[in-house]
Amino acid sequence: MAGRYRLDARLGQGGIGEVWRAYDEDLGRAVAVKVLLEFDASDELLRRFRREAAIGARLQHPGITVVHDIGQHEDRLFIVMELLEGRDLAHTLALTPGRGLPLSEAVGLALQATEALEAAHAQKVVHRDLKPANLFLLTDGRLKICDFGIARTADATGGLTVTGRVFGTPAYMAPEQWRGEHVDARCDLYALGCVLHALLTGAPPFADAGQPWALMRRHLDEAPAALDTVRADVPVALAELVAALLAKDPADRPTATATAERLRALPIPGPSVPGPAPVPATTATASTVPAPSPGPHRRSVLLGGLAGLAAASGGAYAVLRLSGDETGGAHSETVIVRLSGSAESVAFSPDGKLVAGGSSDGTVRLWDVATRASSSPFPGHSGSVTAVAFSPEGRTLASSGGREVRLSDVTARSGANSLNPSLGAWSLCFGPDGRTLAAAHEDNSVRLWDVSGSPGTVIAIFTGHTAQVWSVALAPDGRTLASGGDDDTVHLWDVATRTKTATLTGHTDHVTAVAFSPDGKILATGGADKTVRLWDAATRTTTQVDTLAGLNSSVRALVFSPDGKTLAGGGGRTIRLWDVATRTNTTKLNGHTGAVNSLAFSPDGKTLASASDDSTVRLWKTP
């Protein structure tokens, strides 16, 4: 890029950009490069991207991610940052769920964060989105504040909201942020109090009840329980400090300087020591990283400043109802739930009464569409749930995560059995007979399973791809199987004869989504080359019918409406709907603050479900 930066490996992708491990050829050093992908980005988004770089360059402090450069390559803006190794505090807390960290470690980390905030506030910079995911713990124990994507200078003019959206992350937002008021450095101190509460207890002071207005009311009116009554080893002075940081009135909160002084004065051995014992070195290519899910968007992103990938809105709780102007005639009906991990997969039950969702935290949940009630999670997978699929009669739910495909009883809400041998799958699809399950497995193969017995039996293995297979689809009549993969090709297979009938070429990057139209005449394919292609599937030939326009991000999900008139596609933060007959982009659904991973139409075609990296599953009323 720009004749200087060699992009070596894509480490992550969000709604507006992607981050690469790169090498600065001029200075001979490894760096991280964040690239803005949206070619039709608004002026406001471009200003935020530039402001993030300017603020990062302005803040020279060991506890703040260093920004080296900003530039433009062709039509894309990019930011060059220091490359960090370690993990953020959200992942650190996930290792001890519900317990928090040892007292001295929690206080030491809070002190490092406070000292970095003190430096930012001295430069009149307000972060506005401090949270564990934006605090990065290096392998040497040092802590850095990341993601100044929605930071503002204290003397900046203008409001905090755009089109009904409040900036910040709900569990860490100060009352004045919820009210949409102009904020100053004291909102960061409130967020710091929430962070310190999470470090000590494993959770922020107010639980997310799944509805934004309920959480807002708690932040506005409710006092959290005193920390020394929640955790016995918390000294009174520390409990009083957290209570002061969480004061409803900004004027009652201590400054960062005063907070640092009070943390240093605590009678706790070693609170000023930089962080806990060093964590194991981890990079996107190290062997210690869990097996990646399909596509770079689901890989662990382990470098500073990456939370801003999908944070043009700063991880804001998205508006629940969007205007027709924003969505082209459709709107978001509701956020079903905010998951503890990113929402990786979604599916409607055949009767349309249930929605299943899989999360990166390994859980699978069901929600009642009419009541929005959520079931307890099914027995957890050991890794990210990359695919969920209902059987045609709706009694069985297949899910894949952590090198296991599991078949669960929907009625009993229990795990039924796992396919043997255990292999993780990036994509799952039932055949019309309800007995056949197609799976894109980790070993570059596609397998057909007979799941009528326990355990399931492999009835066919297709091995034509030369690289990872990301997506599979069975034609409505069950006679043809389509698969797309990392080798940039789509293969068509005859299920009865177990033979390959065609190889479709044309994509110039990974094929990550395939879908048959309800009549089986059209196959839609999408990939990392940001194109959606339509193929003549009825003749099982390599004839490409058309290429759909209007995309500015990789395609992660494709689904036809039940009547076959509409094709929905997602990958970035925007979901696009095309009229299949005219090949025109009729609707754009905006509201997700992270990349869309999975889509599903309800059986009546009136509702579209989407799962996103922003940890939400949403329902959209279609035009």
List, in sequence order, every residue forming a beta bridge with 409; answer none if it has no partner.
396, 414
- CATH class, range 342-572+600-607: mainly beta
Averaged pLDDT for residues 506-514: 92
Q: Which of 527, 534, 485 is nearest to 508 (CA)?
A: 527
DSSP element (H, E) containing 325 = helix 324-327
Neighbouring CB atoms inside 10 A of 256's CB total: 23
Q: Token digits for 368?
A: 């009642």
pLDDT value of residue 281: 35
Peptide bond into 455 cis (omega under 30): yes
C-alpha 230, offset from chain centre: 31
Domain boundaries, the chain: 5-82, 88-310, 342-572+600-607
Q: What is the DSSP string of 44-86?
A: HHHHHHHHHHHHHHH---TTB--EEEEEEETTEEEEEEE---E
Model-wide pTM > 0.85: no
Q: What is the pLDDT of residues 94-150, one digit of tens each?
A: 888 888 999 999 999 999 999 999 999 998 889 888 999 999 999 888 999 987 755
Query: Quick one: pLDDT band at residue 167, thresholds 50, 70, 90?
Result: low
Residue 353 has pLDDT above 90, yes or no: yes
- The whole-number average pLDDT for the span 330-346 is 67
Reported CATH class of domain 88-310: mainly alpha
**What whole-number distance in Å separates Cα of residue 529 and Cα of residue 48?**
26
Measured CA to CA, the distance from residue 389 to residue 294 in angstroms comes to 17
Mean pLDDT, rounded, of the chain? 80
Q: Of all residues in the chain, what percent carry a pLDDT higher than 70?
A: 80
Q: What is the pLDDT of residue 154?
A: 45
Answer with the residue of higher pLDDT: 425 or 275.
Answer: 425
Residue 158 has pLDDT above 50, yes or no: no
Q: What residues contact residue 57 under an 8 Å CB cut-off, 6+ apart?
A: 67, 68, 70
Opening angle at CA 440, ends 437 and 443, nearest 5: 130
Question: Is pLDDT larger for residue 164 or for residue 430?
Answer: 430
Does residue 350 have a cis bond before it (omega within 30 degrees)? no
- Give the per-residue pLDDT at 157: 36
* 164 neighbors 206 (Cβ within 8 angstroms): no
Q: 95: left (phi > 0), else alpha (psi -120 to 50), else beta?
A: alpha
Higher-confidence residue of 525 and 444: namely 525
Calculate helix-pair angle for 186-201, 103-122, nearest 10 degrees.
170
Note the pLDDT tens digit of each residue in 48-106. 778 777 777 778 788 998 888 888 888 788 989 999 888 899 999 988 888 899 999 99
565-583 pLDDT, tens per residue?
999 999 888 899 999 999 9
What pLDDT does residue 540 have?
65
Distance CA 615, CA 618 (A): 10
Q: What is the pLDDT of residue 48?
A: 73
Integer Cα distance of 376 and 615 in angstroms: 17
Q: How far is CA 224 from the centre of its chain?
A: 29
β-bridge partners, 616? 338
Which residues, including other chains, have CB under 8 Å from residue 1's CB and lie 6 or more apart? 7, 22, 33, 35, 71, 73, 78
- Helix ranges (H only) for 123-249 are 175-178, 186-201, 212-221, 227-230, 236-245
What is the per-residue burial (b if ≥16 Cβ within 10 Å, else e) of 398-409?
Answer: bbbbbbbbbbbe
Tokens of 542: 């390599």
Residues 578, 615 contacting (CB under 8 angstroms): no
Q: What is the dihedral of CA 177, 178, 179, 183, to 10 degrees?
A: 0
How far is 318 from 146, CA to CA, in rounded Å? Answer: 22
Integer CA distances (angstroms), 366 to 144, 353, 356, in order: 37, 10, 5
342-572+600-607: same fold as 88-310? no
What pLDDT does residue 420 have?
60
Strands 385-390 and 364-368: unpaired
Q: What are phi and psi of 455, to 5 degrees?
A: -75, 175
pLDDT at 386: 92
The DSSP bridge partners found for residue 589 are 575
| Model pLDDT, residue 478 | 94
The yes-or-no verdict on residue 536 having pLDDT over 60 is yes
Joined tokens for residue 575: 């979901």
**What is the tens place of the pLDDT at every residue in 205-253?**
987 656 677 888 888 888 888 888 889 899 999 999 999 999 999 999 9
Yes or no: say if 113 and 92 are a contact pair by the CB < 8 Å rule.
Answer: no
Question: What H or E segment, with its residue span, contains residue 599?
Answer: strand 596-601
End-to-end, the C-alpha distance of the chain in Å comes to 41
Active site residues: 129
Q: Pick the residue with more confidence: 256 or 324?
A: 256
Mean per-residue pLDDT for 252-279? 72
User: Of 167, 101, 516, 499, nearest to 311 (Cα)?
Assistant: 167
Separation CA 192–CA 489 (nearest Å): 48
Dump pLDDT digits (tens) for 175-214. 999 888 888 999 999 999 999 999 999 999 987 656 677 8
Highest mean pLDDT among 270-279, 493-502, 540-549: 493-502
Distance CA 210, CA 225 (A): 21
Q: Residues 6 or more apart from 440 whose CB is under 8 A from it? A: 425, 426, 427, 428, 446, 469, 470, 471, 472, 483, 485
Q: Cα–Cα distances in Å, from 559 out to 415, 493, 564, 580?
A: 27, 20, 10, 12
Put residue 364 in one of left, alpha, beta given phi > 0 → left and psi -120 to 50 → alpha: beta
Low-confidence winner among 339-353, 469-483, 535-549 (lowest mean pLDDT): 535-549
Domain 5-82 class in CATH: alpha beta
Token readout for 457 is 């039996």
Element (H, E) at 262: helix 256-264
